């Protein structure tokens, strides 16, 4: 069933004529309303962004162009089912497409990462189970740190992000990131000093 173009604009919460829509959004609205001629404009507009996003995930692990093509295949599959999930009132199309492209690229890596080898063909050494090396166990109580504090520590120390990156992602200034880190560390120190676990 094809929707009227005006009805699609109305579903964006905008008047049917939608004079305030950007040309990109008008093009997308035309595409989703059934005008396939808008597809080529959409591809030309976003191919570079999608290829770049995919390239940053895949790097040298595969053909970024094939992965980017896979993104476009998914976007137009089943009468643009995935593309219809985009909501312009919640985020920009470029941001959403970057997230979708990276997700598709990660899926591709996961598919390639797990090649199946018949067990008879596997060498004996590959089947040997190595004893796990257990780290010294310390436990952080679940409510000791706030989610924001945990996230800052994770981004700093597990993701190796710098303060500027974190402040951009969390939409706070750099001093707030440093302060959050400091408070979290004080809480952890105090907890382990009191419990004598160190």
Partner 1 sequence: MDEIIPFETGRRFWQKVAHGAGETSVGKSGAGEGGIEPLDPMVLAAYAEGRLDPAAAEAVEIHLLTDSEALETLAAIASPGHRAIDADRLIARATALVPNVPSRPADRIVPLPARTSGLRAYAAWGAMAASLLVVSLVGFNVGRSAEHALDPARYQAATDLPDPTLTLFPNDVLG
Whole-number minimum distance, CB 15 to partner 1, in Å?
Answer: 22
Cα–Cα distance list, 152 to 156, 160, 173, 187 (Å) = 6, 11, 13, 14
Which C-beta is closer to partner 1: that of 22 or that of 40?
40
Mapped onto helix, strand or coil, the DSSP state of residue 17 is coil
Which C-beta is closer to partner 1: that of 18 or that of 53?
53
Cα–Cα distance list, 12 to 34, 88, 196 (Å) = 16, 7, 58
Which C-beta is closer to partner 1: that of 118 or that of 196?
196
Q: Which residue stretches of the chain are H helix?
A: 5-11, 23-32, 38-58, 64-84, 93-113, 124-127, 147-153, 163-170, 174-195
Whole-number minimum distance, CB 140 to partner 1, in Å?
Answer: 4
Which C-beta is closer to partner 1: that of 18 or that of 156?
156
Whole-number minimum distance, CB 182 to partner 1, in Å?
Answer: 6
CB 136 within 8 A of CB 150: no
CB 16 within 8 A of CB 23: no
Whole-number minimum distance, CB 31 to partner 1, in Å?
Answer: 9
Q: What is the DSSP letter of 38?
A: H
Which C-beta is closer to partner 1: that of 121 or that of 137?
137
Residue among 159, 158, 164 at smallest CA distance from 178: 164
Whole-number minimum distance, CB 28 to partner 1, in Å?
Answer: 13
């Amino acid at each position: 069933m094809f929707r009227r173009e005006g009805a699609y604009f109305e579903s964006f919460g905008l008047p049917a004529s939608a004079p305030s829509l950007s040309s990109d959004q008008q093009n997308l609205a035309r595409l989703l309303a059934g005008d396939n001629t808008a597809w080529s404009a959409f591809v030309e507009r976003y191919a570079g962004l999608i290829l770049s996003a995919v390239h940053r995930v895949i790097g040298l692990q595969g053909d970024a162009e094939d992965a980017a093509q896979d993104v476009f295949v998914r976007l137009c599959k089943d009468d643009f089912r995935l593309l219809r999930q985009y909501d312009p009132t919640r985020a920009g199309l470029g941001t959403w497409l970057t997230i979708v492209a990276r997700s598709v690229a990660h899926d591709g890596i996961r598919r390639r990462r797990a090649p199946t080898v018949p067990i008879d063909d596997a060498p004996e050494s590959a089947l040997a189970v190595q004893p796990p090396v257990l780290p010294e166990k310390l436990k952080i109580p679940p409510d000791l740190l706030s989610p924001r504090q945990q996230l800052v520590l994770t981004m700093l120390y597990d993701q190796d992000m710098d303060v500027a990156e974190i402040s951009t992602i969390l939409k706070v200034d750099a001093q707030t990131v440093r302060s959050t880190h400091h408070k979290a560390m004080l809480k952890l120190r105090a907890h382990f000093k009191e419990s004598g676990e160190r």
